[in-house]
Amino acid sequence: QEQLVESGGGVVQPGGSLRLSCVASGFTFSAYGMHWVRQTPGKGLEWVAFKRFDGSNEYYADSVEGRFVIFRDNSKNTLYLQMSGLRVEDTAVYYCARRQWDVQGEYFDLWGQGTLVTVSS
Amino acid sequence: EVVLTQSPGTLSLSPGERATLSCRASQGVASTYLAWYQQKPGQAPRLLIYGASSRATGIPDRFSGSGSGTDFTLTISRLEPEDFAVYYCQQYGRSVWTFGQGTKVEIK
């Protein structure tokens, strides 16, 4: 069964740091690009960051560029999001999601259950 | 960055009725790069449609997607009780992925 499981969320003060993890199972993790997507309470979805399957490239939303770093360890089937300089507006449920890309489309085809990050003093 | 605007914000319908959800892009989007997701309370989003019109694995055929350029539509032909949820469109372009703000389909 293909699965993504996030962890690492919690309460942190503004300006603080946190590292999220996403462990993949049931599929060949190293063959897929991976995303982080967040959802603020009661609001919509916002793409945060993407890492290519081989770790060679990453892309970030403007709102987190320079503060967040996405990286992966294919030997551990794990995706990470290192968050620093956290702001109140970073409070959200953070999902990891698998990128699917083929001639038929580019989309997120597998999602984790999410982990909640709360930035508050 | 491409902005996706979904309408209406809320759609109040009864089971058995037809739902038509709109997603309008601020600039042209390749159909290949347009997808739709369903999200129920407390759950992660679930892929419904990719490539603007292809149903994901296991998605019932009452769900269909259409459109091109800047105007895309998700249609649910006959609403089932389990279809009442929030629906998001999403696009990819130039190493940026964006979502619409969502349309809530609620029971009338």
Name the CA dihedral angle for A51, A112, A31, B2, rounded to a multiple of 10 degrees: -50
Among A74, A75, A77, smallest CA distance to A24 is for A77
- The distance between the two most distant Cα atoms of chain A, rounded to a whole number of Å, is 47
How large is the average pLDDT for residues B68-82?
Answer: 97
Residues in chain A within 8 Å Cβ distance of B101: 44
| B31 → chain A, closest CA residue | A105
Q: What mean pLDDT is predicted for residues A62-85? A: 97
Tally C-beta pairs within 8 A across A and B.
Answer: 65
Closest Cβ opposite residue A105 in set B33, B37, B45: B33
A31 touches A121 (CB < 8 A):
no
* Segment 22-81 of chain B within 8 Å of chain A by CB: 32-35, 37, 43-47, 50-52, 54, 56
Asked if residues A98 and A32 have their Cβ atoms less than 8 Å apart, the reply is yes
Is residue A114 within 8 Å of residue A95, measured between CB atoms? yes
Q: Return the DSSP state at B56.
A: P
From B3-7, B18-22, B43-47, B91-95, the region with the lowest mean pLDDT: B91-95
Per-residue pLDDT of B38-62, as tens digits, reads 999 999 999 999 999 999 999 999 9
Do A105 and B102 lie within an 8 Å CB cutoff? Answer: no
Half-sphere exposure of A60 (CA within 13 A, CB side): 13
Q: Do B35 and A113 touch (CB under 8 A)?
A: no
pLDDT value of position A44? 87
Write down the pLDDT at residue B14: 97
B chain contacts of residue A115, beta-carbon cutoff 8 Å: none
Q: What are the pLDDT digits (tens) for B9-42?
A: 999 999 999 999 999 999 999 999 999 999 999 9
Chain B: nearest CA to A96, how far in angstroms? Answer: 10
